[in-house]
Amino acid sequence: MEVKSLFDKAAYDEIMQRLSNLKVDSPRQWGKMTAAQMLTHCKEAYKVPLTSKPLKRHPLSIIGWMFRSQLYNSKPYRQNLPTAPNFIVKEERDFDKEKAEMLSIVKAFHERGAAGIGDKVHPMFGKMTADQWGRSMWKHLDHHLRQFGQ
């Protein structure tokens, strides 16, 4: 699997098209989330590199750096990986609202660019470069879009 970066215009355009193609009734290939819940989950993930407020470090972050490359390497995420508790979405969400917000947040990430994201600290995996953020955010969204056939 080629891991693209959301700072790359072609990768950004492709992911935005795939997001646009997502439907409320897109068939789930694995997992428990609905498409709307998945969008909410992904929006929360994007807040990590987009926020200027430091996030509380996870207790296991002292060893998280050893696994950081899994966020952006070429090996696809396994299906049904456990989700961090603060990223689990149990309540039903409004699909159209979540989709519009997700498109907007991905656009904001891309437009901010590598210089605007810079080196932010991931609460579990520690300090990441802008390049690592660009690739990890693409890989995470790619994983969930494939979850719903996109």
Give pLDDT < 50 ranges for the chain: 61
In the chain, what percentage of residues exceed pLDDT 70?
81
The answer as to whether 59 is a domain residue is: yes
pLDDT given at position 143: 95
Q: Please check whether residue 52 lies inside any domain of the structure.
A: yes
Number of domains in the chain: 1
* pLDDT tens digits, one per residue of 78-112: 787 767 667 778 899 999 999 999 999 999 999 99
- pLDDT value at position 80? 76
Q: Is position 109 within any domain? A: yes
The pTM of this model reads 0.84
Structural domain includes residue 114: yes
Q: Let me know if residue 13 belongs to a domain.
A: yes
Q: What pLDDT is recorded for position 95?
A: 98
Within a domain: 4: no
DSSP for residue 6: T
pLDDT at 3: 92
To 10 degrees, the CA torsion angle through 112, 113, 117, 123?
A: 100
Residue at 115 is within a domain: yes
Range of the domain at 143: 9-147
